[in-house]
Structure 1
Amino acid sequence: MKSARIKPPGSAKKVARPKGTNTSFRDPVQVYCRLRPMQFPTDTTCMKIISDTTIVITPPESAANSRNVNSKEIQTTFTQVFTHKVSQKEIFNIVALPLVENLINGRNSLLFTYGVTGSGKTYTMAGNSQDAGIMPRCLNIMFNSIANYQTKKFVFKPDKLNGFDVQTEADAMLDRQNELHNGLLSQRNGKSGKPKRTESEGDSNPFLSRETNESHTLSVHQDNGYSVFVTYVEIYNNSVYDLLDEEDLKMKTLQSKIVREDGNKNMYVHAATEIEVKSAEEAFEVFHRGQRKKRVAHTALNAESSRSHSVFTIRLVQAPLDCEGEQVIQDKRVICISQLSLVDLAGSERTNRTKNTGQRLREAGNINNSLMTLRSCMEILRENQTQGTSKMVPYRDSKLTHLFKNYFDGEGQVRMIVCVNPRVDDYDETIQVMRFAEMTQEVQVTRPQTLRIDLGFTPGRRQANKIFKEARSRLEKEGRIEAVDLNIDLGLVYSLGGPFPTLESTNPHDDNIITNLMHFLEQRINKRNILTTDLQQKQSDLRKMLMSIEQENLTLKVDNSSLKATCSQQKKKITVLEGHLCKTESQIDSLLRKLNAANETIRTMQQELRDRDLALNQRIIDKQRVKQRYNSKMQAETDKMTRELENKLKQQREHLQNQMKDKENKLRLVKQILVDDNNLIAKDSTESGDNLLKTPATEGRSRRDKMAVSNPKYRRSQSADRWVDHTPTPLAPLGTVLQPMMRRRRSITRLTSPKEITDGVSRYCLIAQEHDTDGELETKLYKGDILPTSGGGAQVVFSDMECLKQTSPKARKRSGPSDSGDGENLGSPIHSSTIFDTYIKRPRVVN
């Protein structure tokens, strides 16, 4: 692929080549051979290494092509042969390291591995976690070399046409912010942004624990800004697929891409995802993301056989910095694009050995067809170059050859590693690979030429700008005000360029060395003239600056003399002020001593106050403790007295109840006696006649029984009855509908004067509650009439008494023998009832 070297701007200087010199040089394709170690100890080899470049192959008796072979041994020559003892690092240093140098110097390169399936192509290209392959080591060396010269992300932006644009710092910062915002949004929505792994993939990235070589770096142009972009595609069944396309994850199928030609006649995969990476670790992660989507399958010869050709491309974009050595020049024409394509070809295989059928058989056919097209292209190219013919090379017959067309027709270094399994069983496939490798070495490719654009800027401006910024930052830290106004002058950095080119020549007809030397000397002469003119200008400016400094010096001397006179007067004033200052300081010292004494007294008093507060708090705590103990003792005594009082009251209640029973018995006896007396008197009067005189005792008793309680002359209206409801103490609620009927009443709790029962009332009711001998609640209502007395007072004549007794119902047993009922418990009370007993006593007069 041709490097994107577009015409320089009009102000740039371009060194012309001398006329008549040969500007086109061709180099053969370099082919290296790597032998895989034997898989089993019982395997036999059919190859023998006789030198570092030559292998002798001995066909076995069972080989299919042994009948057509005239000699028993076939000798094949390569650029170099690597045995199974050669390490990955040695292969990289010999084969791939020069290609990385081409990449940094702006030249294109192509490296691909070729061989039968299971010969170690993928291991050579990628390696594993214990021993990294060519691709990880290329990325390590490249990033180690350009680590300090990379531009910020999105300064170079792909233009979708295989080129790049240079963005301003503001646009690049906006793109970085959008990328950060999209990443945070994807994490918030639970999208990791990475494709899911298949069952055949590993659980970790095998290249993160790679072998690194931090000390090995390559020389780069320090006044350029660099940026790295990577792409990863595969060619499967003669169709190109992008392994880094995130949109394909949503559709769950890879979309085929097309191969196009850009404005510089370079072939590229249109709309392929190109990712800018800033470290080797980031590039490994991108490669591993595409590796998870690469098509592999199990065959009889290889457990993980690649079913497609994979192409991992590293593109290095570089552009010179401006005259101050800070920003990349905003001109697309000065951009230099170089690329290194690492191709892992799928292995050629025979159906009778792999036992493929169906989809695997179709894949094997497409793989073999693309490899045959590559071989046909190489044969026609060799014929055109050796015999001078102009046959059309069938690049378009396969997407693999179409993609790398400009490497063979254009300019770029091409190298191939042939991976071989030296077993006797693989002889038939290996001999075809050897013939193709030997034929490929005869194809010549145009040597890439590097054309540097000289913009007339001073070399070393990046380092000078760095030194200037460090010096200004040190001045700012020291507090120097003039550091802010300093300006950079990169003209003071003088350099005539790099060392002389190599003058060793192996071909007497090679004019390239003389051409390069002339070009180099012309550049040095031009730079020397520029630096000489700059030096003369600097000398003239220095003379003018010295004259102005001398004039300023004379002026400063005059100013200095006047300042000295002023200074002497100021010194006298200072001496007087110092005397006053001494007196003031002595007064301040005495005041400070007094202040310290007062502070000491305050601290002492504060300490005493704290001690007293502590003692007072302790006393309060002691009082609270004594009070708590006193309250607990009082509570205990109160409880004890309450229990004793309750016992006494219970005893008195029982005693009174016994007395009441005795009185009731006596009253019944008296009543019985009276009844008996009346019956006896009636009987005697009957016997003696109706006209017998009564005895005085009988008359007195009869008079006493028939004496009226109230004055019969006093009459009252029953419709105007007003009651006095006397309730001495709060009563317990009766919980029954049987309540005393008093329509017009006045409730009182205590009789304080006779007026309360004489003021417009005529009936009196006293309500009392107590417990009977069985502990049941008994409510008594004493009712009577209020009669006025001759002395202006009133008397209460109790006419009746109502007794309301509430008793808990006792359990009743069901009389019927049937046990079927409503499920009630017969041993517990079903409901509550209230029994009322009313006793009418003898009227009693209360004055």
Structure 2
Amino acid sequence: MRYSIMKTARSTPQICPKEQAFGSRHNVTPKDPVQVYCRLRPMSHPDDISCITIESSNAMIVIPPESAINLRNGNQRTLLASFDHLFGTDATQIQVFDVVALPLIQNLLKGKNSLLFTYGVTASGKTYTMTGDLQNQGIMPRCLNVIFNSILQYQAKRYVFKPDKMNGFDIQNEEDALLDRKKDLRWGTSKCKGKNINREYDKTESDTATSSVSSSSHSDALILTVDQDNAYAVFITYVEVYNNSVYDLLEETEIRPKTMQSKIIREDSNKNMYIHAVTEVEVKSSKEALQIFNYGQQRRRVAHTALNAESSRSHSVFTIRLVQAPLDSSGEKIVQDKRVIVISQISLVDLAGSERTNRSKNTGQRLREAGNINNSLMTLRKCLEILHENQTQSTNKLVPYRDSKLTHLFKNYFDGEGQVRMIVCVNPRADDYDETIQVIKFAEITQEVKVLRPVARRLDLGYTPGRRQANNNFREAQNRLEKNGYAEAMDLELDLNLVYSLGGPFPSLEVKSAHDEQTITTLMRFLEQRIIKQKSLSADLQKKQSELRNMLVVLERDNISLKIENATLKVSSEEQKRKINTLQTHVCKAETQVDILIQKLNAANDAIRFLQQEVKNKDVVLNQKMMEKERTKIKYNNKIQAKTEKMNKELEDKLKQQRENLEAKMKNKEEKLNLVKQIISSDDPVVVNENQAPVVDGKLSPSSNNLQQTESETVNDLVSIPIVNPRYRRSKSADIWLDHRPQHLVPLGTIFQPHMSSRKSVNQLLDPKDITDRTSRYCLVSQQDVNGELETKLYKGEILPTSSGGAQVVFNDMECLKQTSPIPKRKHSGQTPQKERQPSPETSGLSKKLRL
């Protein structure tokens, strides 16, 4: 999309000479005294005693305490000090800014330089006044807010103005600036690499406006008047003067601040002092500027002293430089001429506090820093005193600016390159009286020093004022026409050169002498050019009037046709409205029916949800019952299992007891049989006494007592046997053996097995029915290991019914099967051990005994 712009004969700007455009320092201009303001810090503790009484809005009375040195020396007891304005302890940051700093920002926007520094003893509130905190912003952030609010819509794109490293700036064309923006965007960081400050590069001026408004707070809403036909850019620098050396706090270096390289103070072509190779960062919003300031603030040197927890050990200088240049005749691009650039700056200086060694208790490095701070402040005071002396006594003494880096840097301000203001911060405590007196005396000397009033640096290239706004309005009209379908809108031409401009201001009319023809000649030439331009403007105005008449005729014709078309459209529009009303009625009925159906559907959904909830509740109750039933089942199963185990244990105990009793009886019977066998095999006469105890060789046998005991037990056993039918007989063909075998029997593996034609095998007896159920004979098998030999015994008996309906087992036979290891033989014999079943004579004897 292309458009053309008409150019007139005055499209090339006529740049005035340097003396006429910017003025000269040597011209006779009025002088203004250095304005000094005083701010009292609130008491830190309620028990502190104040030595200052506020007399008025610009005066105060200082009353020395009894411990003061001046009182002991016999000096005046009270001191009346006056200032341009006095801020009490209840003064806010906004009040200080409006009175002190706001006029300096107005001068900055007009192209004038300014210097503002805070002075006072340590811990008197200098840094708080200059920077403030998050809740109460100080002078510096409020200055940034006002500047960016004022130039919000008129900022140039980034890198259009570029520092030339010689205290000046170059103007780049759009292509070069775009390359620099892309390069910086590719790296993604600002010049302060140490803090990784991310930037968003604005593609349009509206992006810059949005970022600036988001960082605004009282001063944030304040907007000052600026020239709308200029393009603006803001650059900031931040340095410190430490031990009489200048260090760049924004320098691109990874070196620790204590080992940074100091900078050199030089003089540019206009005799202005500047810091060589200092880092100048272009910022587009106050938020971005504060981020960079915080980065430099972290590198500034502070330390803990006895009077202040964070005492500044250096003088900090934060400089805001405003660069402005006029737009061309079309109001779109910046004039590509370095000579039209106007640079103004405001330096905000936070001086380190003066200290007395006997109070701060400094030693070593802190003592050296305090000495350099006091020396630089003393040099500043000395320079002001000599300036005052030269001005009052008409002397021409050399001012020792070069004795200190601080005074050398601000030499131009005191020589008339800007307005100077000072804020004296005072701590009203009685303990700080001696230091406060020195600060007030220095303020009195400063007030008497006068500096040249700065001259506004205005540029007049003869361009039409308001051309930026006219160009914006023209572009908006073109865009509107293009959206409405007028393709020829972009071919419209814009002419802003010959409108409301008759040239620059009148030359000087002051006639120095009666023969001063040069002034009259200059005025005549100026008036002739003005008359010629007036005629050309009149001709152009008549031409435009005729063109406007023709355009009005065409527009009137178009207006008539549009009226006819509009009437037709009104008729059709009314018909469409009637149809729309009818359709709206149908829609309302349909919506009513839909609402009724929705209500029914909601009711049905509520019923469904209610039934689903009931089903869920019943499922929960059913699950609870099932769980309760399962728990009851488990509970009863555990009880049954416990009872079963208890009964099994009791039965096992009974069987074990019976087995032990039977084994004891069998052992007694074996002893008796052995005794009988011994008697039979013995050749000695045997005599039986009355108790039937055998007597061998006239002596009672040792086992007679045991025999008597065994016979008595046998009689007792017979007595305890239930009454049975002794004549009870059963056919041998119907005999069924009850084979009672334990579970863990060792298999014999021999041919000697008990002969039982039919049998019923059990491992344990749990029920009496196991004995009485179709069985007539009983066999109990037991095994034991006797001296390494396996011995198996079979106790046999008959099952006889009792009179009570039960059964009685009467043992009448026992078989003993022993399995012994054969005597070891030679390997070549190849014989294997044999298992023998040898019925012992004891077994046969016991059988005979039981049968008897």
Q: Same fold (TM over 0.5)?
A: yes
**Displacement, 1:66?**
1.8
* Aligned-residue offset at 1:482: 1.0
Q: Structure 1 residues 466 and 347, CA, compared in 2 at 3 Å: closer, same or farther?
A: same
Name the counterpart of 1:488: 494
The residue type paired with residue 252 of structure 2 is E
140 and 477 in structure 1: CA distance in 2 versus 1, 3 angstrom threshold: same
Question: 1:224 maps to which residue?
Answer: 230
Give secondary structure in 1 for the equivalent of 2:188: helix
**Paired residue secondary structure (2:321):** strand
* Residue 381, structure 1, aligned to residue 387, structure 2: yes
Distance 1:121-1:243 versus aligned 2 partners, 3 A rule: same
Does the residue aligned with 1:268 lie in a helix, a strand or coil? strand
CA contact (8 A) 2:388 2:449 kept: yes
TM-score, structure 2 as length reference: 0.56
Counterpart position of 1:137: 142
Letter in 1 for 2:309: A
Residue of structure 2 equivalent to 1:112: 117
Aligned with 2:217: secondary structure? coil
Measure the CA separation in 2 of the matches of 1:498 and 1:420: 50
Matched ranges for 1:133-532 at <5 A: 133-183=138-188, 193=196, 211-249=217-255, 253-491=259-497, 493-494=499-500, 532=534
- Kept in 2, the 8 Å contact 1:464–1:493? The answer is no
Indicate the residue corresponding to 2:629 in structure 1. Answer: none
Residue 11 of structure 1 and its aligned partner are, at CA, apart by 1.8
What CA distance in whole angstroms lies between the structure 1 residues aligned with 2:39 and 2:229? 40
**In the alignment, residue 45 of structure 2 is paired with which amino acid?**
F
Matches within 5 A, 1:30-69: 30-69=35-74
Contact map agreement 1:230 1:314 (CA 8 A) in 2 = yes
Correspondence for 2:541: 539
Mapped to 1, the partners of 2:456 and 2:332 lie a distance apart of 25
Match of 1:618 in 2: none
Does residue 25 of the first structure (1) align with residue 27 of the second (2)?
no
1:11 matched to 2:11: no
Q: Against the structure 1 CA distance between its residues 192 and 315, is the aligned structure 2 distance closer, same or farther, given a 3 Å change threshold?
A: closer
Distance in 2 of aligned mates of 1:87 and 1:135: 15
Q: 1:397 to 1:250 in 2, by over 3 A?
A: closer
CA contact (8 A) 2:114 2:418 kept: yes
Percent sequence identity over aligned pairs? 61
Change (3 A) 1:61 1:80: same
CA contact (8 A) 1:459 1:493 kept: no
Moved more, 134-143 or 486-495: 486-495
What's the CA shift for 1:544?
7.4
- The CA deviation string for residues 717-741 of structure 1, in whole angstroms up to 9 with x for no partner, is xxxxxxxxxxxxxxxxxxxxxxxxx
1:552 CA displacement: 12
Question: What CA distance in whole angstroms lies between the structure 2 residues aligned with 1:234 and 1:382?
Answer: 27
1:222–1:460 Cα contact (<8 Å) kept: yes
Query: What is residue 81 of structure 2 aligned with on the other side?
Result: 76
Equivalent residues in 2 for 1:683-698 (5 A)?
Answer: none
Sort the Cα spacing of 1:160 and 1:40 in 2 relative to 1 into closer, same or farther, 3 A: same
Flag the 1:497–1:345 CA change in 2: closer, same or farther, 3 A: farther
Q: Secondary structure at the match of 1:153?
A: coil
Q: State the Cα distance separating 1:492 from its structure 2 match.
A: 6.5
CA distance in 2, matches of 1:529, 1:464: 26
Report if aligned partners of 2:462, 2:503 keep a CA contact under 8 Å in 1: no
C-alpha spacing 1:450/1:549, structure 2 compared with 1 (3 Å): closer
Distance 2:32 2:159 in 1: 37
Whether contact under 8 Å (2:94, 2:218) holds in the other structure is no
Per-residue Cα deviation, 1:691-720 (whole angstroms, up to 9, x for no partner):
xxxxxxxxxxxxxxxxxxxxxxxxxxxxxx
Q: What does residue range 761-772 of structure 1 map to in structure 2 within 5 Å?
A: none
- Runs of 4+ in structure 1 deviating by more than 4 angstroms, as ranges, are 13-19, 184-187, 207-210, 248-252, 495-500, 521-531, 543-553
- 3-state DSSP of counterpart to 2:354: coil
> How much is the aligned-residue C-alpha RMSD, in angstroms?
3.7
Q: In 1, Cα distance between the equivalents of 2:68 and 2:525?
A: 62
- Say if 2:37 and 2:83, in contact at 8 Å, map to a contact too: yes
Give the aligned residue type for 1:24.
T
Cα shift readout 1:13-71 (whole Å, capped 9, x = no counterpart): 5796999x973111000000000011111100111111111111111121112233432
The secondary structure found in structure 1 opposite 2:219 is: coil
Q: Does the aligned pair in 1 maintain the 2:97–2:139 contact within 8 Å? A: yes
Which residue matches 2:93? 88
State the alpha-carbon separation in 2 of the partners of residues 108 and 306 from structure 1: 26
Matches within 5 A, 1:669-818: none
Q: Which runs of 5+ in 2 are unaligned?
A: 1-11, 199-212, 507-519, 558-823, 825-852
Alignment of 1:601-616 (within 5 A): none
Superposed displacement of residue 541, structure 1: 3.1
| Aligned partner of residue 50 in structure 1, secondary structure | strand
Distance 1:69 1:320, change over 3 A: farther
